Amino acid sequence: MKKTFIFVLALAVAAAACAKKEEETPVTPTENPFFTEWTAPFGTPPFGQIKEEHYRPAFEAGMAEQKKEVAAIISNPEPPTFANTVEALEASGELLTKVANVFFMYTANHTNDTLQKIQQEMAPLLSKHNDDIALDPELFARVKAVHDRKNKLTLTPEQARLLEKTHKDFVRAGASLDEAKKAELRKVNEELTVLSVKFGQNVLKEDNGFALVLDKPEDLAGLPADLAAAAAEAAKARGMEGKWVFTLHKPSCIPFFQYSSRRDLREKLFKAFISRGDNDNEFDNKAVAAKIAALRVVRASLLGYKTHADYILEENMAKTPAGVTKLLDQIWKPALATAKAEAGELRAMMNAEGIAGPLQPWDWWHYAEKLKKAKYDLDDETLRPYFELKAVRQGAFDVANKLWGLTFTPRTDIPVYHPEVEVFEVREADGAHVGILYSDYFPRASKRGGAWSGSIREQGVRDGKRIAPINYNVGNFTKPTAEKPSLLTFEEASTLFHEFGHALHDLLSDVTYTSLSGTNVPRDFVELGSQIMENWAGDAAVIKTYAKHYRTGEPIPDELIAKIRKAAFFNQGFITVEYMSACYLDLDWHTLVEPKEMDAVAFENASLKKIGMIPEIVVRYKSAYFQHIFSSGYSAGYYSYIWSEVLDKDAFEAFKETSLFDPETARRFRESIYAKGGSDDPMNLYKAFRGREPKVEPLLRARGFLK
């Protein structure tokens, strides 16, 4: 998943409470690296010099500096122009952005109690700072004056887009409201800020708060030796040598669900996994989620929208909740029918083993893996030796090289924020510097779950000079052991390619204004640039170039590739239903019209019952740990992945109509999608590449729902 623009991020990923600040040793400006020019290669952050005590002074200085910049715009005696108002506002806040991008990278990738406390202290201040700018009547009057004259101005298309976006951002932030409503909106924004990060921090604590500890070898029945070895190392790291530890991090628990013959232990771990945030303890999120949803109703109403979804979707390609529902309904019916048939097959296999009763959710992964082995002679453990993490990453680099001539050179002279992080300089075919990419792929207690991409510095142009982007890719893949490197499943390999696609969107951006660069695009368009890379990850010809046995170096055999392709539609009902049920749940939370704090469990159950969810499958994200929508930027937008999949499958057809690495098609995709960022309407960008609007049929074929 991609991080959002700084102030949206500050609202969505800020603190759990306003904690009292403890006395600190004052930090002089010369000691604080945020107040000096960064001299590490390419202006990368000097991570070894940045200390926790540097953040608050830097945040305060950044906010103060931007306030002065905004005050100068307001007090300018000259009439408002695009340059002295819109461009000047776009250029403001450079220090604040610099601090926030590093800080929020840490709080997602490598946090601790002190950083979380700083989040708690800074969140309301950042919320207020944002509102002070967005709700300033004099500043908005200047922006509106320029916008009112837009048809008389000589602007480039990108300038016109920035003007339209800036004006609309003010309106959507409440700049047109009266003072009483502005005051109410400020309160709502601050409370949402506090609750959003409380939600995320609760999930992190729940992720780390449970461990399945096994102390008898017979408890490991069915588990591959590699998984048992990783569990033994996890136990040793916790001071439990001679035992085995399985956690709620996916590289640990998903293989356990797949392979453990101990149904009782699968049930125990699975129930812990789906109970995160729902344990009636200090980290319980049910009331937090309900309060967030209710406050979003209040905010939407204040801003003149029927629902929060209407407010969000106005800016997306879908435009309306009805537009989202129309797409979801086209896919849900065939997906659910397929999932029911899959459940029948798995139940029959389970019953044939002498296990009576219904198939349970903790059985699905296990019997799906067995059925895949029986049908296709294929399982994840057969494939893992061919998907060594560094080889997969190199495979992604090689695809980018063949498409656009990019090269990725390791840089050991650039500071990193954790020893597991690696750094690459990205260059064009002619050697020109493009940007910097950090990769951070292993789970740890200080990192949230999942996979995502983010920016420390976004591409733009300042004083006629290109600002080179600095990006990071993050994952939670299986850690290497003393005996073996990190070996991925094919799904994890696809995830690596996916996040790399987000990085390419940022790295290959070629616009003037950073707020329009790279992945600063509508939520249901941003996944096109990432998901299209998954198509190369799964192509038979490409797999042979990077999938090589980690011991022998032999390419993956053709018969295994044939099995992967043959099994392409396997379990697609489960995969689609698990995901899409979360899309419907998200939409239901955000089409509420009354600011009532719902019973989260009852609300969720009613939502899933309405769409006919089957009991054998659990929604991918239950409300209490649905971070995408309650502590990140995907509220009313979780459908974006399937919406973008319509785009990516249709876009990849353009390559298949020519060739996988057709230079002209690659050039059009780079210039129309990656390079343009948010500088034009996304449908215009898509049509510039494809020559027409996308069709849904390629997606239905790719998932096996259309023969």
**Residue for token digits 């910049």?**
69
Catalytic pick among 458, 499, 578, 604: 499
Q: What is the mean pLDDT of residues 171-178?
A: 97
Residue 664 sits in the same domain as residue 557 = yes
Cα 12 to Cα 34: distance, rounded to the nearest angstrom: 23
pLDDT digits (tens, 9 = 90+) for 180-222: 999 999 999 999 999 998 999 999 999 999 999 999 999 999 9
**Residue for token digits 């061919």?**
386
Is residue 6 scored above 70 in pLDDT? no
Q: Does any domain span residue 344? A: no
DSSP assignment of 358-382: ---HHHHHHHHHHHHHHHHS--HHH
Q: At 329, which amino acid appears?
A: D
Cα 574 to Cα 443: distance, rounded to the nearest angstrom: 26
Q: Does any domain span residue 315? A: no
Instruction: Show the domain range for 43.
Output: 6-176
Cα 368 to Cα 380: distance, rounded to the nearest angstrom: 11
Cα 519 to Cα 509: distance, rounded to the nearest angstrom: 9
Cα 231 to Cα 219: distance, rounded to the nearest angstrom: 12
End-to-end, the C-alpha distance of the chain in Å comes to 31
Q: What is the mean pLDDT of residues 135-164?
A: 98
Q: Does any domain span residue 126? A: yes
* 428 part of the active site: no
How many folded domains does the chain comprise? Answer: 3
Residue 422 sits in the same domain as residue 470 = yes
Q: Does any domain span residue 296? A: no
pLDDT digits (tens, 9 = 90+) for 331-385: 999 999 999 999 999 999 999 999 998 999 999 999 999 999 999 999 999 999 9
Residue 92 sits in the same domain as residue 135 = yes
In the beta sheet, which residues pair with residue 221? Answer: none
pLDDT digits (tens, 9 = 90+) for 445-462: 999 989 999 999 999 999
Residue 20 sits in the same domain as residue 123 = yes
Residue 428 sits in the same domain as residue 557 = yes
Closest CA to 592 of 332, 299, 324: 299
Residue 27 sits in the same domain as residue 137 = yes
Q: Does any domain span residue 571? A: no
CATH number where 676 lies: 1.10.1370.40
Residue 457 sits in the same domain as residue 560 = yes
**Per-residue model confidence (pLDDT) at position 707:** 66
Residue 412 sits in the same domain as residue 488 = yes
Residue 544 sits in the same domain as residue 412 = yes
Q: Does any domain span residue 193? A: no
In the listed set 154, 176, 198, which residue is the last one of a domain according to the structure? 176
Beta strand residue intervals within 187-236, DSSP E = 211-214
Q: Does any domain span residue 633? A: no
Q: What is the mean pLDDT of residues 378-396?
A: 96
Q: How confident is the model at residue 633 (pLDDT cuts 50, 70, 90)?
A: confident
Cα 535 to Cα 514: distance, rounded to the nearest angstrom: 29
In the listed set 226, 257, 274, which residue is the last one of a domain according to the structure? 274
Residue 225 sits in the same domain as residue 171 = no
Residue 152 sits in the same domain as residue 233 = no
Q: Does any domain span residue 391? A: yes
**Residue for token digits 């980290």?**
283
**Per-residue model confidence (pLDDT) at position 344:** 97
- How distant, in Å, are the alpha carbons of 6, 291, 621, 627 from that of 13? 10, 16, 18, 10
The pTM of this model reads: 0.91
Do 480 and 524 meet the contact criterion of CB atoms below 8 Å apart? no
Is residue 11 scored above 80 in pLDDT? no
In the listed set 134, 150, 176, which residue is the last one of a domain according to the structure? 176
**Per-residue model confidence (pLDDT) at position 28:** 55
Residue 517 sits in the same domain as residue 649 = yes
